[in-house]
Amino acid sequence: DAMVIQNPRYQVTQFGKPVTLSCSQTLNHNVMYWYQQKSSQAPKLLFHYYDKDFNNEADTPDNFQSRRPNTSFCFLDIRSPGLGDAAMYLCATSRDQLGIDEQFFGPGTRLTVL
Amino acid sequence: AQSVTQLGSHVSVSEGALVLLRCNYSSSVPPYLFWYVQYPNQGLQLLLKYTTGATLVKGINGFEAEFKKSETSFHLTKPSAHMSDAAEYFCAVSAGGYNKLIFGAGTRLAVHP
């Protein structure tokens, strides 16, 4: 089945230690998104790629970066995680970036910062 | 600017009872509206969406929603709740030219026997 895969499902890191979260997709979609979802809150878009074009949300901290080496993979890098970065990180894809396009979500990676 | 308000952060119903989850939106352009469901420690799954055309939209698992422009609402309903419906439900509006989803704060649905 075509799907969005996130690894690992659970990640524990130490305060200030860089961490990378991974997302891959078999849907061959053009757009990939990263959302941050803190406990009992709505998902918040951090950035997205349309093909190789990177689009950063204005309020996304500089501590968060992303890479998309090819169509299938996208990475979220947190350079110096703080306690406030503990959250669920959701990857999503869509075929195109039209407003009607459904976004398909992965199961998420829950990040704990010690 | 687009925004979404979900009335009621927690809703509790009995199994077999009507489910009604409320969503109001604000949009300066004709909106595209979505309902997503999230089970514990899982990603989001699309229940249904409204783009254009018929204002009553049917989705998966017996859910449906009606787009009411005059009320700026997109409430989610299901005639008969099942225990497996217990989850978090998010209403969202599509904003901007790049399919950015603006989510409401979510409603946690509990279903009791």
Q: Please check the confidence at residue B33 and state whether its pLDDT lies above 90.
A: yes
Report the pLDDT value the prediction gives residue B18, as an integer from 0 to 100. Answer: 98
Cα separation of A45 and A36, whole Å? 6
Nearest chain B Cα distance for residue A111, angstroms? 12
Report the pLDDT value the prediction gives residue B9, as an integer from 0 to 100. Answer: 93
Mean pLDDT to the nearest integer, A4-26: 96
Cα separation of A78 and A64, whole Å? 5
Mean pLDDT to the nearest integer, A75-90: 96
Report the pLDDT value the prediction gives residue A85, as an integer from 0 to 100. Answer: 97
The conformation of residue A41, written as its DSSP 8-state character, comes to S
Indicate the residue of B45, B46, B105 with minimum beta-carbon distance to A42: B105
Report the pLDDT value the prediction gives residue B72, as an integer from 0 to 100. Answer: 94
Name the token pair of B90.
Answer: 């998010």
Range name among A53-57, B8-12, B51-55 with the lowest pLDDT average: B51-55
Contacts of A108 in chain B (CB under 8 A): 41-43
Helix (H) or strand (E) holding B94: strand B87-95
Contact state of B99 with A97 under an 8 Å Cβ cutoff = yes
Q: Give Cα B75 distance to the centre of its chain.
A: 6
Bridge partner residues of B35 (DSSP): B48, B91
Report the pLDDT value the prediction gives residue B96, as an integer from 0 to 100. Answer: 59
pLDDT tens digits along A16-69: 999 999 999 999 999 999 999 998 888 999 999 999 999 999 999 999 999 999
Q: Please check the confidence at residue A2 and state whether its pLDDT lies above 80.
A: no
Mean pLDDT to the nearest integer, A78-105: 91
Instruction: For chains A and B, count residue pairs whose Cβ atoms are closer than 8 Å.
Output: 66
pLDDT tier for residue B97 given thresholds of 50, 70 and 90: low
Three-class SS of B10-75: EEEEECCCCEEEEEEEECCCCCCEEEEEECCCCCEEEEEEECCCCCEEECHHHCEEEEECCCCEEE
Name the token pair of B14.
Answer: 């009995």
Residue among A41, A98, A112 with most chain B CBs within 10 A, to mutate: A98
Nearest chain A Cα distance for residue B22, angstroms? 16
Contact state of A45 with B100 under an 8 Å Cβ cutoff = yes
Report the pLDDT value the prediction gives residue B12, as an integer from 0 to 100. Answer: 97
Contacts of A48 in chain B (CB under 8 A): 98, 100
The mean pLDDT value of chain A amounts to: 93
- CA-based nearest residue to A81, from A38, A22, A7, A18: A18
Residue B60 φ then ψ, to 5°: -85, 165
In single-letter form, the type of residue at position A82 comes to G
Angle at B42 between CA A53 and CA A54, to 5 degrees: 5
In single-letter form, the type of residue at position B99 comes to N
pLDDT tier for residue B52 given thresholds of 50, 70 and 90: confident
- CA-based nearest residue to B109, from B56, B41, B52, B38: B38
Bridge partner residues of B11 (DSSP): B109
Report the pLDDT value the prediction gives residue B94, as an integer from 0 to 100. Answer: 86
Percent pLDDT > 90 in chain A is 89
Cα separation of A93 and A4, whole Å? 8
Range name among A4-8, A38-42, A91-95, B10-14 with the lowest pLDDT average: A38-42
